Structure 1
């Protein structure tokens, strides 16, 4: 008989944690009292009274700068969870929540409570997730900068080795976040911070820590300016000790760490500076935060102040048929500028595919960058034309030639000529094998699925994102051509369609299909496209450069039709962004997520994110 595993009620567990924190705080205070017993109270009072007004003013200014940076943590967190809260309000909430939680201690619980109170329609669960995100990412940033500072200015000789060890443990985290952006815990899936989000946290943490350390530094009149790096290292380590203790304001652990690391400073002056620091940096922010927490509900922040949504209109056609591939990646049309862009989101990037869908001929790159920043992603333009590449270069973006597209004019295509000798030979092989090609009126889905399965068994898992995958609903919107030998389906191809273009998408043949099967299918498509007066037929693109060597066979196949080759480009705001986005794109292409059901199409929470198939015109 199955018996449930006994567990403590949540309230009991919470009380145990709070009791443990209280016990640790009392023990640290007892140790601090023992340490301070030898210090004359009058010396501390004299040091405090001797502080000039300008030092107090600089300390207040530095504290304001630190909390200005602190608010940015919540801005990153709200972008990560797509809460829709405007960044100005997210930052105000972050400053108040952190000011309250560092005074009360139990950072995650008190911070979650403060965020839940400050944002009127925030659920407790989401408030807890926001707080945990801020806490974990800040601790990672704190550990990183502490390791760096221990290498540069260690207060004690042995700390340099600690810095090396810390970096050795922390640097692989970036690789892990890139390769494993989502963490599954049973049926729960956690989306981990993107590299851009982590980079933002590292930058804001550097400003926050430097400004907070300056608060303490200006309150120490006897500190030589040359010792500022040592003080910064000691401060960061003391802050880490205080946070890990869970005590209110790190009480006890913070002071004991500073006393242990800054042995050259007079203890009375140091304790006077710490006391003034606590009044300015801990007590004052808490006094500002409490009235906000006690405000009536109608005065609290609300997510009704959302970021503006982008409008959309339905264009009659689109210049590139291949943009329909984004339907398999939950892509959408990004509107609101002077051109509509087909975009897909990956774990690290917001990628505009090809040229604009409609509107202007040049994309609104500032809109693309802004949208990417709203979602903690890197902006990338992929497989765009030379015209868009020139526009991106003029905007200061970095541009790189990545592939070449093979295009044909169906009305003028012929198999005659020396350049198409290989096609004629392949067609003869197919004809002798008894191959018959035609355009599909109804799709023989069972046989097509069998061909696709055999093709994947021979060639490996089908790639995705920028390339289509077998799905009935997806193929139903395309022009599909079938190759038969008797009653057996030997292979098929599909083409995206728009008013002005067809573009080759899926190419599937049995491993033992007759030679020339694929050539015969494409020639059949060219014949039908010519009869339908389609102005342009694209055989899609082939990578160039070093990567292109892996696709020499594909290039030779397309080259046998003697097409016109047109260069396509990739563009990004910087080389580092391009490298991260390109690696992320390659990972999602080669290992796409499984297709959900017959034809996945997710619902989106933004007005401009709608079913892209409305643009196909088919």
Structure 2
């Protein structure tokens, strides 16, 4: 309604124009200006069409960038000219990609629409307004601050709950890309308008582009076809003294180049082009039971995917901002996976990251140009050399004596009592807080049922248990749970029993998991006791590394991974590819889910 009122006001203003002078000004526009404006409009449309590429990557549709870009350009060219842009755009996207389904098409349209408004608003408030206020220099400070503020919000709140459903907001890389695309759009669209104006009447280019940016927003909010009415009135209002036949002629020429011609081309393409159909490619299933690192199956608890080349294969974890190669290569060398990880992260609007790499792999990544940093050390015990004699084991011997005096017994759990183990887990959460996740073990029988389990009993009653991950010659600690009050030496005796069992089974290493690197400033609180506990076994400390293409991406990736560990997403139990088939057989979902309730 408001747009129609403004369009009426524009019509009244148009009655006062000398249309003969407008015609003269229109015909006097030089041919090279038409060509230049058309080229600028083409670049502007390339930028806005790229929004669809970003949207398809966000929703992981798997469509080629070219097909997404063409559908986006068609939808925007026709939608912005005819009015009702989101509805028209959704219809045209569905026409060009029918097998996406209506739901995905609507999500892509909403993503593009809201994403553009967010990016446009950032540019308008931080750049356009200061320029028109005569303080262009202020934009140099406001733009970084605005980008940082929105990025901080997206980092803190990566998801939004709408009507009981979780919506994933754009990642920080996606938002920054959309702002850059919106800047490219208004820059070249404003340049197209500038080329249509006579030089003697055109304001300075920065002022014109800032004015165009705000007028464009008024036209979009007005909702009229092509923004007619609100756009022109905003332009005339923000550029006093320019309501001349030359401006009217320039606006008519601009609308021909930027609206009419793209609309005709877009409509023709939508009518004549065959729909793009692409059968869904079968996802490569990550192999979580193989590889040189026993911790790999932890990835089953998080959103994960395979990264593969002809030479190598690895498993990557998804966090809101990153696609993280976990533990290096499952098979083959690391080097071929690095460019593949770059491409995969780009195709999901995420930052590429390497996590928990060994020193050897860190050297390989550093040679390939990645920025690497030691962030943790893991305690590794050589079972053949582990001997309770000697001064290094004095503290361990003391705690083992206390466990023996308390009458504790330790050993494998052959038939898990999930009800009792759930009680222990609940007591542990009550005293320690919610469990962590991502790369740290979480309590769920569906996940644990095919893992080695060891328990501690006091007077025949289970009071503590651990789960472990095994591959080749390594047994790695996965999960530790115990009652709030246990006799001294309980966990020492439990781990010592595991070491003894591993030695008998010919397992060369027992890994007690990782701690923050001693060189890191501000190590996590509560690590002192855990460090003393692990140090009592006189382990070999092995450094682990995190990496990203540069320092800024490394800082953001590390913060995002830490956030995902401290506040993990709920465990998913509806997909059959999350848990091994053996686990599903051994622990039917209907029986095991109650035991997972507190964990997810």
Report the TM-score when normalising by structure 1.
Answer: 0.88
* Native 8 Å contact 1:311 1:336 kept in 2: no
> Is 1:590 aligned with 2:560?
no
Query: Whole-Å Cα distance in 2 between the matches of residues 592 and 96 of structure 1?
Result: 40
Name the structure 2 match of 1:6.
none
* Native 8 Å contact 1:310 1:334 kept in 2: no
Report the TM-score when normalising by structure 2.
Answer: 0.91
Q: CA deviation at 1:446?
A: 2.0
Provide closer, same or farther for how the CA distance between residues 257 and 71 of structure 1 changes in structure 2, counting only shifts above 3 A. Answer: same
Q: CA deviation at 1:429?
A: 0.7
> Is 1:145 aligned with 2:118?
no
Q: Mapping of 1:347-386 within 5 angstroms?
A: 347-362=320-335, 364-386=337-359
Among candidates 397, 401, 410, match of residue 424 of structure 1: 397
Q: CA deviation at 1:360?
A: 2.2
Name the structure 1 match of 2:104.
126
Query: Whole-Å Cα distance in 2 between the matches of residues 158 and 576 of structure 1?
Result: 30
Name the structure 2 match of 1:319.
292
> Is 1:507 aligned with 2:480?
yes
Q: Mapping of 1:299-318 within 5 angstroms?
A: 299-304=274-279, 317-318=290-291
Deviations 1:425-468 (A, max 9, x none): 01011111111111122112222222211111111111111101
* Native 8 Å contact 2:411 2:455 kept in 1: yes
Q: Mapping of 1:515-530 within 5 angstroms?
A: 515-530=488-503
Aligned residue pair count? 581
Q: Which runs of 5+ in 1 are unaligned?
A: 1-19, 605-609
Query: Whole-Å Cα distance in 2 between the matches of residues 74 and 549 of structure 1?
Result: 41
Q: CA deviation at 1:189?
A: 2.6
- The 10-residue stretch of structure 1 (219-228 or 166-175) with the greater mean CA deviation from structure 2: 166-175
Provide closer, same or farther for how the CA distance between residues 131 and 244 of structure 1 changes in structure 2, counting only shifts above 3 A. Answer: same
> Is 1:193 aligned with 2:170?
yes
Deviations 1:484-539 (A, max 9, x none): 11121121122100112110111122221111111111111111111111122111
Query: Whole-Å Cα distance in 1 between the matches of residues 284 and 436 of structure 2?
Result: 32
Query: Whole-Å Cα distance in 2 between the matches of residues 541 and 445 of structure 1?
Result: 27
Among candidates 34, 40, 51, match of residue 18 of structure 2: 40
Name the structure 1 match of 2:7.
29
Query: Whole-Å Cα distance in 1 between the matches of residues 576 and 416 of structure 2?
Result: 27
Deviations 1:92-121 (A, max 9, x none): 110011000011011111111111122232
* Native 8 Å contact 1:330 1:602 kept in 2: no
Query: Whole-Å Cα distance in 2 between the matches of residues 249 and 52 of structure 1?
Result: 25
Q: CA deviation at 1:477?
A: 2.0
Query: Whole-Å Cα distance in 2 between the matches of residues 194 and 143 of structure 1?
Result: 18
Name the structure 1 match of 2:208.
231
Provide closer, same or farther for how the CA distance between residues 558 and 131 of structure 1 changes in structure 2, counting only shifts above 3 A. Answer: same
Query: Whole-Å Cα distance in 1 between the matches of residues 129 and 328 of structure 2?
Result: 48
Provide closer, same or farther for how the CA distance between residues 368 and 171 of structure 1 changes in structure 2, counting only shifts above 3 A. Answer: closer
Query: Whole-Å Cα distance in 2 between the matches of residues 178 and 612 of structure 1?
Result: 32
Name the structure 1 match of 2:591.
none
> Is 1:68 aligned with 2:41?
no
Name the structure 2 match of 1:208.
185
Query: Whole-Å Cα distance in 2 between the matches of residues 313 and 343 of structure 1?
Result: 9
Provide closer, same or farther for how the CA distance between residues 579 and 79 of structure 1 changes in structure 2, counting only shifts above 3 A. Answer: same
Q: CA deviation at 1:164?
A: 10
Please state whether the residue corresponding to 1:47 is helix, strand or coil: helix
Name the structure 1 match of 2:467.
494
Please state whether the residue corresponding to 2:17 is helix, strand or coil: coil
Query: Whole-Å Cα distance in 2 between the matches of residues 275 and 387 of structure 1?
Result: 65
> Is 1:175 aligned with 2:175?
no
* Native 8 Å contact 1:146 1:163 kept in 2: no
Provide closer, same or farther for how the CA distance between residues 312 and 136 of structure 1 changes in structure 2, counting only shifts above 3 A. Answer: closer
Please state whether the residue corresponding to 1:412 is helix, strand or coil: coil
RMSD, aligned CA? 2.7
Among candidates 48, 54, 65, match of residue 87 of structure 1: 65
Provide closer, same or farther for how the CA distance between residues 310 and 595 of structure 1 changes in structure 2, counting only shifts above 3 A. Answer: closer
> Is 1:559 aligned with 2:532?
no
* Native 8 Å contact 2:67 2:276 kept in 1: yes
Q: Mapping of 1:257-296 within 5 angstroms?
A: 257-265=234-242, 267-295=244-272
Query: Whole-Å Cα distance in 2 between the matches of residues 499 and 84 of structure 1?
Result: 36
Provide closer, same or farther for how the CA distance between residues 387 and 612 of structure 1 changes in structure 2, counting only shifts above 3 A. Answer: farther
Q: CA deviation at 1:145?
A: 0.7
Please state whether the residue corresponding to 1:450 is helix, strand or coil: helix
* Native 8 Å contact 1:324 1:613 kept in 2: no
Name the structure 1 match of 2:232.
255
Query: Whole-Å Cα distance in 2 between the matches of residues 233 and 179 of structure 1?
Result: 31
> Is 1:242 aligned with 2:223?
no
- The 10-residue stretch of structure 1 (115-124 or 519-528) with the greater mean CA deviation from structure 2: 115-124
Q: CA deviation at 1:63?
A: 0.8
Q: CA deviation at 1:211?
A: 0.9
Deviations 1:586-613 (A, max 9, x none): 12211113335xxx36257xxxxx7578
Please state whether the residue corresponding to 2:450 is helix, strand or coil: coil
- The 10-residue stretch of structure 1 (157-166 or 384-393) with the greater mean CA deviation from structure 2: 157-166
